[in-house]
Copies of this chain bind each other. A is one copy, B any other.
Amino acid sequence: MTFTQNKIASILRHSGYKITPQRRAVLNIISQSHDHLTPAAIYEKVHQQHPRIGLVTVYRTLDILAELGLICEVHSGGSCRSYLMRRPAEHHHHLICSDCGAVIDFTDCDLSNLEQRLAREAHFEIKGHLLEFTGLCRDCRKRMKQKKAAR
């Protein structure tokens, strides 16, 4: 479950941002897709429902949504800057299929031991972390097995 429309609207408003149809449209697209989407892909989809929207607005909207933590940026695998809807409240990470790009969330990263050790050893004050696993999703594994069997 993602944030509700209302919750999102309230967060935007409280941060001094207006709720515009364009911003709604971008949010809708991202929350409807389970995959991560590049700015260009988001633009394309939004554009179908909202032909007058500009790519610039998509970029600006993404910056705001990411800044507010409503969406998250995904890095692994080729293209930088893709976006995913953020699950509410909870810190989480992604499992990304290197074949089809499917994204699965997980929440219990439990890096606190590692974090403490590193902070101590490197005299770092750790503020955050980026953790992503890559591999093959269930479907892609199946597909590969079938291919192999067919040979």
Interface residues of A (CB under 8 A from B): 75-76, 80-81, 95, 97-98, 104, 106, 108-110, 114-115, 118-119, 121-138, 141
Q: Are A95 and B124 in contact (CB under 8 A)?
A: yes
A126 and B130 in contact, given A75-B80, A80-B81, A109-B114 (Cβ under 8 angstroms): no
Nearest opposing residue in chain B for A125, CB measure:
B136
Q: In the complex the two chains form, is A130's CB within 8 Å of B131's CB?
A: yes
Cβ-neighbour of A95 out of B81, B108, B109, B122 (below 8 A): B122
Copies of this chain held together in the complex: 2
A129 CA / B109 CA spacing, docked (Å): 13
Expressed in whole angstroms, the minimum distance between the Cβ of A42 and any Cβ of chain B is 18
The answer to whether B95 touches A123 (Cβ under 8 A) is no
Closest to A136 in B: B125
Task: Decide if B127 touches A134 in the complex (CB within 8 Å).
Answer: yes
Given contacts A80-B80, A118-B106, contact A141 B123 (CB under 8 A): yes
